Amino acid sequence: MSGEDWRPTASLDTLRLRARLLATVRAFFAAREVLEVETPCLGAAAVTDPHLHSVAARLGGGGAGGPERVLYLQTSPEYAMKRLLAAGSGPIYQLARAFRDGEAGRLHNPEFTLLEWYRPGFDHHLLMDEVEELVGALLGAPPSERLTYAEAFRSRAGVDPFSDPVTRLAAAAREAAGGAVPELGEDRDAWLDLLMAVSVAPALGRGRPAFVHDFPAPQAALARVREPTPEGGPAVAERFELFVEGIELANGFHELADPAEQRSRFEADLARRRARGLPEPPIDERLLAALATGLPDCSGVALGFDRLVMLTAGAAALAEVVAFPVDRA
């Protein structure tokens, strides 16, 4: 520590800008009669995605004299918000504090703000329309470009993510990264993730926002999967990501509502974690019970609010737009 590290890393002008953007977000959703909600930061279950790592917190029994419990700081409010949707909430949004272990750097902080919302009756294309409206209001951005995942890879990396062999994907990744890449073997999706990071994403959203949609089915996460077309087109996940100036700003899904399929995906995630020697957090049984009761047909999206402030302010790093990043917390 130094004598000056008590000070905020964001200027007061930037913090005022942040407050104005928060007010604009709330006005945007109020005008559309989308309900603002709050859900717990601490939960009994945690995300199973092998790429995300939850922060565990140990709670003592306290005055009630109960046993100690391990709870998890939520990486997203998604599971709890879906429980509200299943309970009949209608359209909802949240400006949530979220937490992810092992994420720190220019575009990451272990504690951050997510703007997450869900629209019953929307598919992912309708939700992209609304995301574009909001980003236009906040960033003054021009109309977006929309590409399928395949189009994005063909135009930015010169490969076909569905039909090219793994050896071609690996060669393109090594060329884009200057040769210094991990050895990923025959793991097609790992090579695609690497290509997205080093070649495709940095070239997206330059001059205008870019949506990428229709991801490979193995990258569905919590999105629905659309079956292969009669003409031989691949199965794709009804998922999108938004990029602005090479930065991923939002990730959205036409939400999976099948509890059996959701359980199967959770268990597959845990198997991948087990194979990598990663912790295996408990599955969210309350979410699965809510899905069994009935999740309305809906789409949802999580938008990185700190990144949005960074882009609006013309800042180079998240530390410039949050008062106290992790090294000053």
Instruction: Check residue 63 and give its pLDDT.
Output: 57
Block mean pLDDT (10 aa), the chain, length 329: 85 98 98 98 95 92 72 97 98 98 92 98 98 96 96 97 96 88 90 96 97 96 91 91 98 98 97 94 97 98 98 96 95
Q: Are 322 and 109 in contact (CB under 8 A)?
A: yes
Q: What pLDDT is recorded for position 104?
A: 84
For the whole model, what pTM was predicted? 0.94
Task: Classify domain 12-144+208-328 at the CATH superfamily level.
Answer: Bira Bifunctional Protein; Domain 2 (3.30.930.10)
Task: Provide the pLDDT for residue 113.
Answer: 98
> Which residues lie closer than 8 Å to 242 by C-beta, 6 or more apart?
128, 131, 135, 144, 205, 209, 210, 211, 248, 249, 250, 251, 252, 303
Query: Token digits for 11?
Result: 């200027």
Domain boundaries, given as residue ranges, for the chain? 12-144+208-328
Report residue 24 as tokens: 């604009």
Question: CB of 184 within 8 A of CB of 194?
Answer: yes
DSSP-derived secondary structure for 61-111 = -GGGT---EEEEE-S-SHHHHHHHHHTT--SEEEEEEEE-TT--BTTB-SE
